[in-house]
Structure 1
């Protein structure tokens, strides 16, 4: 195991303080959200079309269009969003670097003031600021002032790729189940989608540290409503056409 992956001395090994945490959480979040969106959006479309027609060709064409279009849309959305975040972080890093070069005394006083505001005595705050500045002034100021790790700026490409791939994987599930014989395709797709949504909701909650059960239930209810609504719309069009 590399030295970078080892926890710092005195740090609990199961606590998320290791290098690259923002990057990992970024692509995990994008991946889980992408899978969830792929499951719901593709399932809603194929179930809706299946409610309107029994034509496998029509269902497959609609599903593939939703799968490809959704994956591209998710990737673009993540790339734009995370690029904006990355650009903001880089701008803040550049600004802090310039301030440290042009007004080091003022920056030192600011750093010590931040530690005093956190409850340290004046003497201790100055001592901490002095030692951190001697070790790595830029990192000390970015951490205390902006909560930024200069080595852990998020990557828009990672987020875009994770989102697109997970969308394709999630959307492939309803694409497969909807190809079952006519009598089975809709109920089996409903069950498969509900189970998959429960899993993605649980994983998303685990990543965020929130209640697993509540998160899974929210996602399942939302997905069930979407499937039911699109299926009813399809049935209405089928009845109207008939």
Structure 2
């Protein structure tokens, strides 16, 4: 079986350079979340309106209105949630600073027990505790990661919101393309383009997933089109009332 290529080198120089750059902040989840939600919600509007047998003009009006309003709403919600994460980190870090100042021996004991649970013992445990607690920032970083499960690298609320909004608008515009150009059998073309969009999003996501690209793409396309089918059926049923 051929060996899968490694993602980065492991020479001393390569490791030093990679660690010097520090951990990278990822906005992949914001892009995927915005892209899938944009395509699903806009196509759901299209499918619902077509199912209700309304005109293509209504499809465009409601589709564009949903695209802008929902896109902004998603971006605002993501900004608020990411801002909450940043505020939580700042709050807990300030708390750890107060605790180290007020009860340093108690905080050292926390570090000792954390390291002991990881297998440190004897003189090695004592030396590790001394090394960590010998630098205040390093001490707090360890407590934030080990006690609260939080890392010092924080995501930017504005960048997270921007990534969500951009992906939402880009992918959410796809279901409307056939109606913009007045294509025949527009719902069929819209369904095909939206299915391709879902597949592409899933395939890109597979780079960070154990699933193969085609399986991840197929899963995402199935979920997205199922949501759209529900909207179409509901619109069709309501049109008959």
Is this a same-fold pair by TM over 0.5? yes
TM-score (norm 1): 0.81
In structure 2, the CA distance between the partners of 1:116 and 1:9, relative to structure 1 (3 Å rule), is farther
User: Within the alignment, does 1:130 sit opposite 2:130 as a pair?
Assistant: yes
Work out which of the residue numbers 139, 142, 147 in structure 1 matches 2:141: 139
Q: Which residue of 2 aligns with 1:3?
A: none
Q: How many Å separate the matches in 2 of 1:149 and 1:232?
A: 45
Q: Which residue of 1 aligns with 2:6?
A: none
Q: Which residue of 1 aligns with 2:83?
A: 83
Query: How many residue pairs get matched?
Result: 229
Q: Is the 8 A contact 1:47 1:231 kept in 2?
A: yes
User: Within the alignment, does 1:166 sit opposite 2:160 as a pair?
Assistant: no
Q: Is the 8 A contact 1:133 1:140 kept in 2?
A: no
Q: How many Å separate the matches in 1 of 2:123 and 2:48?
A: 68
1:217-228 superposed matches below 5 A: 217-228=218-229
Structure 1 SS opposite 2:155: coil
Q: Which residue of 2 aligns with 1:184?
A: 185
Deviations 1:185-228 (A, max 9, x none): 11111111111111212333433x34245543332122222222
Deviations 1:126-179 (A, max 9, x none): 2112112224322233233233333x1232222211111110111111121333
In structure 2, the CA distance between the partners of 1:120 and 1:83, relative to structure 1 (3 Å rule), is same
Q: CA deviation at 1:46?
A: 1.5
Q: Which residue of 1 aligns with 2:37?
A: 37
User: Within the alignment, does 1:118 sit opposite 2:121 as a pair?
Assistant: no
Q: How many Å separate the matches in 1 of 2:14 and 2:99?
A: 32
In structure 2, the CA distance between the partners of 1:122 and 1:217, relative to structure 1 (3 Å rule), is farther
Q: How many Å separate the matches in 2 of 1:16 and 1:192?
A: 42
Structure 1: gaps of 5 or more residues: 1-5
TM-score (norm 2): 0.81
